[in-house]
Chain A
Amino acid sequence: DTGVSQDPRHKITKRGQNVTFRCDPISEHNRLYWYRQTLGQGPEFLTYFQNEAQLEKSRLLSDRFSAERPKGSFSTLEIQRTEQGDSAMYLCASSRQDYSGNTIYFGEGSWLTVV
């Protein structure tokens, strides 16, 4: 099955360190999304790519966060100088707009714990 895959699945890091997450979307999906989910909350939108272009960024995405999708395929989300408040599940999703709408499929997420 070529679903959305994310790596690593779990990451524990010390405050102040940088971390990077990778997402491989479903093949042929031109849209890629990053969300963040904390316990007891629904996923919150972070950013969205159509092909390699980053079309929208949430205000949640501070200057310490950067996302790229250099060739319109996989994407990376980097968090610099991590803070304890960054501890969350980082979800990647992908979709392909078709005539019937836009169904978004999610990966299993990358858990980040900042200690």
Chain B
Amino acid sequence: AQSVSQHNHHVILSEAASLELGCNYSYGGTVNLFWYVQYPGQHLQLLLKYFSGDPLVKGIKGFEAEFIKSKFSFNLRKPSVQWSDTAEYFCAVIAFSGGYNKLIFGAGTRLAVHP
């Protein structure tokens, strides 16, 4: 079955540190890839998405992610985090296989940024 793995469950950083959150998925066909963010007490919001084309995608708030097909990875990066980036981050995949069309989430990574 298709699955999404996020390697880090908890990450603690100081402001201005660089961030990279890992995401791997298990599916060999066409995929749409997403990163969602959930700030404390708020709903899931889309950070960025990859459908096709340039594998380096830029999202909101200075985030970017790189799709590496050979590694089945879609890691999220930000060069310099801020305290306001404290949130939970979810990687998600839509795998296209006939009628298979649902968004599968990873378990999430909790990011805490200290001032």
Which A residues contact B (CB, under 8 angstroms)?
33, 35, 40-45, 48, 55-56, 91, 93, 100-109
Contact = CB atoms under 8 A, between A and B. Distances in A.
Interface of B: 4, 32, 34, 36, 42-46, 49, 51-52, 90, 92, 94, 99, 101-108
A9 B51 CA distance: 32
Contacts, number: 55
Contacts of B52: 100-101
A104 to B, nearest CB: 5
A60 to B, nearest CB: 12
Chain B contact surface mostly: strand
Nearest to A4: B43
A40 B109 CA distance: 9
A7 to B, nearest CB: 14
B94 A43 contact: no
Contact of A105 (B46, B94, B99): B46
A35 B44 CA distance: 12
A48 B107 contact: no
Nearest to B96: A102
A100 B51 contact: yes
A107 B32 CA distance: 20
Interchain residue pairs A-B with the least CB separation, the first 3: A42-B105, A101-B51, A108-B43
B32 A102 contact: yes
A19 B2 CA distance: 31
Contacts of B34: 103-104
A45 B103 contact: yes
A48 B102 contact: yes
A76 B104 CA distance: 22
B85 to A, nearest CB: 19
Contacts of A105: 46
A41 B99 contact: no
A56 B43 CA distance: 24
